[in-house]
Structure 1
Amino acid sequence: MKKITLCLMASMVLYSCRDQKSDQSETVDVVLVGGGIMSVTLGNMLHELDPELSIAAYERLDAVGKESSAAWNNAGTGHSALCELNYTPELADGTIDTHKAVEINESFEVSKEFWSYLVAAKKIGPASSFINPTPHMSFVTGEANVKYLKKRYLALQKEPLFTGMEYSEDQKQIRSWIPLVMDGRDASHKVAATKIDIGTDVNYGILTQKLASNLVGSGKMKLELSHEVNDFKRNDDGTWSVFVKDLKNNKTKTIRAKFVFIGAGGATLPLLEKTHIPEAKGYGGFPVSGEWLVCNNAQIIAQHQAKVYGKASVGSPPMSVPHLDTRIINGKKELLFGPFAGFSSKFLKNGTWGDLPESFNFYNIRPMLEAGLDNVPLTKYLVEQVVLTPEERLAALREYFPKARMQDWDLRVAGQRVQVIKIDEKTKGGILQFGTEVVTASDGSVAALLGASPGASTSVSIMLKVIEKCYKKELQTPAWQLKIKQMIPSYGLKLSDDPALANAIRKHNSEQLGIIWKSIGSNP
């Protein structure tokens, strides 16, 4: 009996070892952690550059694009700085800094180039399922804000990429553009608005699904849903062992990868720390949640056709810039206002309350505490937002829609963002940074994306940075250079410096994507 028992135990050990060896021997060129817009964008770009690359993608939820990429979890704006006032700050000397606006505008054009390439090749589409023309507008009240908006408009008129923008302080003119915003407004109030028709509304959730389907359909990417990456180990040969848990059967397997991209939204930071690469040290995260007011009255929705952005409150994060937005979500026209910011210790909408406290470690505790002390106004703002009453939310809405009624609007939870906290190279203190940041290992074997807005809109430009850092040698080859120019004709060039090229690019993008364009140099 003892012999039989020992034999069975030996067989079980051998079987277990064989399974472990089998798992370890499964090697892929690329592992994508997370099924959002960033991961699938990078996957598609790498597949186009080298169709033979083997890719494995792991998403903890039951579908791709359900966190920050989902339509209800973001503003859906094709962020091109056409209407977002936080990208054009007024400097101490009274001038308007347009540098960030031009950079973001060019980045969105790059995204449209790649989408146009895939649509033309019939790899994703139809374009109208994920991108639709929607005028972008800025609207302000009060003498000081009107003065600022006019200066912003005049500054942007010097930038070729902003051709076609209109400016008005005439209430009658503005009423013709956005009647809901003007109806019931005091005629004595000082108001101003800008409008540009080349703006878009983008459903990044649908786009994510289409990009993922293209990769799966190519036969070169294995997509596993309800699978959570929970750890990494560096191998002696420079590859990575990626530990992946099947959330349905609670079993963990190991995948060997030559390159790992962590694009898991708020979960990126704790995963990046588990790689133990030196470049990950010192980073922290500050989570910010949000809520929308969503219109339930079809007659009101039909009267508004624009994305109308105002000025953010002092100390508020970029994702909290108030806007009254026309959206096309799953083929249906919607009207949203917000987002109202809030605080949650979760790093993902589907995360856990322990995400923030668990993210503290020896290397980031100092910068996180310093950033917290330096951003007391932000903390105060978030607390005030959390305790807003329905009446106070309605009052905020009425600044943009004076005749708004509470019964026409429902409250809906928006997405969760994690803003980057890092060590400032100049002061060596901790700072809270809005925007996105790519972190890569020195050898290019790991890359991770931290941060938030305007991420999705600039996804292609951001993933180009990943490719430039992690596939430097391959990108210098004639084959990759030829292909990347096919994918992104403006690669390596600045559209703002070449109006003729910008016109050609915008015309092609607009034809492929079914959106509006205006020739640079033409009058409104």
Structure 2
Amino acid sequence: MSESVDVVLIGGGVMSATLGTLLKELQPDWKIVVFERLGDVAQESSNPWNNAGTGHSALCELNYMPNADDPSKAIAINEQFQVSRQLWSSLIDRGILDEASTFINATPHMTFVTGEKDVAYLRQRYETLRKEPLFAGIEYSEDSRVIHQWAPLLMKKRRKGEPFAATRVPAGTDVDFGAITHQLFDHLTENGAEMRLNHEVKKLTKKNDGSWDIRYRNRVGGAPGSMNARFVFVGAGGWAIKLLQSAKIPEIKGYGVFPIGGQFLKTSDPAIVKQHQAKVYSQAAVGAPPMSVPHLDTRMVDGEGSLMFGPFATFSPKFLKTGSWFDIVQQVRFSNILSMLKVGATNLSLVKYLVGELMKSRARKVDSLRDFMPTADGADWELIQAGQRAQVMKGGKLQFGTEVVSSTDGTIAGLLGASPGASTTVSIMIDLLSRCFPERIGGWERTLRELIPTLGTSLNDDPERAAEVTGTSADKLGVLA
């Protein structure tokens, strides 16, 4: 007979870790089991070397504001990141997360562009954002001396006469989502949750009573097993679509995903790292997906500083770095094949971009780095493979973002998509709780507001409150407000 539990979390990433932590605070009596197919958690998208760790808050990412006069999406993403900051601050107070410096560090966020068209755009973007409370600290300059003070490596030996401009927000952050994931899961297992590593979920079947039968296999030895759960969350990155299709919920019909990989150039040379303390984003190439916006990033992982530049798009049919070569084919259903074909036919610029990226030699990738850092020496940089991102395909369109798919009865939910992903995890999981537990969310509200004081309100609409809340979380996290 199958063991019965309250909650099964599939996937050992920051999404499952965050949802599990929230549920443990809200329902400490519930039994939670986590299935992770690899030998440790945070080995795919949550791993610090598989993402940029930007702490996406739209301070520097131009793709969140394609229209320089419309800040609505940028504000929404910043609001979501403030929710994450508030929860992390509360979890430090409760001893659930370790000292803030183990997972978050102050790192200015910058945008740097060249050419008259992009300079004009960035100038207008600055004029729009500087009026918004959550972007109050933004700075703008077209002066090479000022930009050199902000980020020397951008300006050394740069061609004269080239139009350029930059914005800078000192209150940016670098976040190690792998560290957050490990710390949250450590707390969960210390408080009764069960972690099953090297266990791969193979099939999900709904029973007549509304619960779910989970069939799994131990990847060490191959022993099969089963478990029954009242609620299932599939937070398995690109693998999620396979499991949601296995569950045969009608809500997954029509969905497909397109995998895009990435590589970064990385250096840990202290002499180079100390000259660049910022995350600097620019404009994406024509046809490039938003996740491929070029950026030169300061990273802090396990106490060591590094710089990463990229990403350079790669292609693999796998939905995870450790996935199957048949992933992209196995997702095909009658309900999604026409939508997927339409995506291919209407995204020829993306196809052209990917082909160009795949043909880039290492030398050409270093040349791209020199567009940011004119003095770059390829011998100082190594090429590393980043994570796989499964972009959502739905209704004949390729969507860039994250999307929760849940059953009508709220007994199962999963997450599809990519950026801004990890940075907005808390808001995504709060939304999931509201969807899947409508009869309980009212009773949970008091605890949720203890964890996230501004839950359900807009900080950007209240400048004084915005300053107070960002200042409080900044003090707790050891970053700038």
TM range, normalised to the smaller chain?
over 0.9
Q: Which residue of 2 aligns with 1:431?
A: 397
| Identity across the alignment (%) | 49
Aligned counterparts of 2:149 and 2:163: Cα–Cα separation in 1: 17
The reply to whether residue 372 of structure 1 matches residue 344 of structure 2 is yes
Corresponding residue for residue 51 of structure 2:
74
Q: Quote the Cα distance in structure 2 between the aligned partners of 1:502 and 1:63.
A: 38
Cα displacement string for residues 265-310 of structure 1 (whole angstroms, at most 9, x for unaligned residues): 0100111101101101110000000000012432111111000001
1:466 aligns with 2:466: no
Q: Deviations over 1:43-97 (max 9, x none)?
A: 001111111111000000011101000000001100000000111112xxxx522
Q: Where does the alignment leave 5 or more consecutive residues of structure 2 unmatched?
A: none
Q: Which amino acid aligns with 1:250?
A: G
Could you tell me how far 1:38 is from its partner in structure 2?
Answer: 0.3
CA distance in 1, matches of 2:30, 2:268: 47
SS at match of 2:40: coil
Match of 1:218 in 2: 191
Q: 1:316 aligns with which of 288, 307, 325?
A: 288
* Structure 1 position 504, deviation (Å): 2.0
Q: Cα deviation per residue 1:232-269 (whole Å; 9 max; x = unaligned)?
A: 11111110101121111211111100000000001001
Indicate the SS of the match to 1:361.
Answer: coil
**Counterpart position of 1:9:** none
> 1:484 & 1:340 partners in 2: Cα distance?
39
The match for 1:41 is 18
Aligned counterpart, 1:496: 460
Q: CA deviation at 1:163?
A: 0.7
In the alignment, what sits opposite 1:205? 178
In the TM superposition, what is the alpha-carbon distance from 1:157 to its structure 2 partner? 1.4
Q: Give the alignment's TM-score, normalised by structure 1.
A: 0.91
1:135 to 103, 108, 112: 108
**Preserved contact between residue 138 and residue 194 of structure 1 (Cα < 8 Å):** yes
Asked if structure 1 preserves the Cα contact closer than 8 Å seen for 2:268 and 2:305, the reply is no
SS in 2 for 1:372: helix
Residue 235 of structure 2 is aligned to residue 235 of structure 1: no
Residue 415 of structure 2 aligns with an amino acid whose one-letter code is L
The amino acid of 1:75's aligned partner reads: A
Q: Note if contact 2:13-2:181 (Cα within 8 Å) is conserved in structure 1.
A: yes
The answer on whether the counterparts of 1:171 and 1:187 sit within 8 Å (CA) in structure 2 is no
In 1, Cα distance between equivalents of 2:459 and 2:28? 29
Counterpart in 2 of 1:426?
none
Query: For the residues of structure 1 that align with 2:232 and 2:131, how far apart are their CA atoms?
Result: 42
Are residues 1:276 and 2:248 paired? yes
Deviation at 1:500, TM superposition (A): 2.2
Partner of 1:244: 216
Contact 2:98 2:183 in 1 (8 A): yes
In the TM superposition, what are the counterparts of 1:72-221 in structure 2 within 5 Å? 72-90=49-67, 95-219=68-192, 221=193
SS of 1:497 mapped into structure 2: coil
**How many Å separate the matches in 2 of 1:414 and 1:468?**
33
Residue-by-residue CA offset, 1:362-382 (whole Å, 9 max, x unaligned): 111110001111111001101
Return the TM-score normalized by structure 2.
0.99
Following TM superposition, by how much is the alpha carbon of 1:342 offset from its aligned partner in structure 2, in angstroms? 1.4
Question: 2:416 corresponds to which residue?
Answer: 450
Alpha-carbon distance in 2 for matches of 1:178, 1:157? 21
Q: Is the 8 A contact 1:420 1:434 kept in 2?
A: yes
- 3-state SS of the aligned residue for 1:494? coil
The aligned residue for residue 226 of structure 2 is: 254
- 2:357 is matched with 385
1:461-495 per-residue CA deviation (whole Å, 9 max, x = no partner) reads 00011100001110112xx1110100111111111
Work out whether residues 296 and 410 of structure 1, in 8 Å CA contact, stay in contact via their aligned partners in 2: no
Offset of residue 187 of structure 1:
2.6
Deviations 1:394-420 (A, max 9, x none): 111011000111111111101100000
Q: 1:303 aligns with which of 275, 300, 303?
A: 275
Indicate conservation of the 8 Å contact 1:343/1:383, yes or no.
no
2:373 is aligned, of 401, 411, 419, to 401
The number of residues matched between the two structures is 481
Query: 2: CA distance between counterparts of 1:296 and 1:214?
Result: 31
Alignment-mate amino acid for residue 147 of structure 1: A
Does the 8 Å CA contact 1:179/1:303 hold for their aligned counterparts?
A: yes
Structure 1, unpaired ranges of 5+? 1-20, 424-429, 518-524
Asked if the contact 1:265/1:348 (under 8 Å) is kept, the reply is yes
Are 1:54 and 2:20 matched, yes or no?
no
Counterpart residue identity of residue 195, structure 1: R
Distance 1:252 1:314 in 2: 48
Residue 485 (1) aligns with residue 449 (2):
yes
Q: Does 1:513 align with 2:477?
A: yes
Pair 1:441 & 2:407 matched: yes
Aligned pairs for 1:406-425 (under 5 A) are 406-423=378-395
- Secondary structure of the equivalent of 1:476? helix
- Say which one has the larger Rg: 1
Q: Does structure 1 conserve the Cα–Cα contact (< 8 Å) formed by 2:269 and 2:306?
A: no
Distance 2:297 2:440 in 1: 42
Verify the 8 A CA contact 2:109 2:168 in the aligned structure 1.
yes
Partner-residue secondary structure (3-state), 1:468: helix
Aligned to 1:29: 6
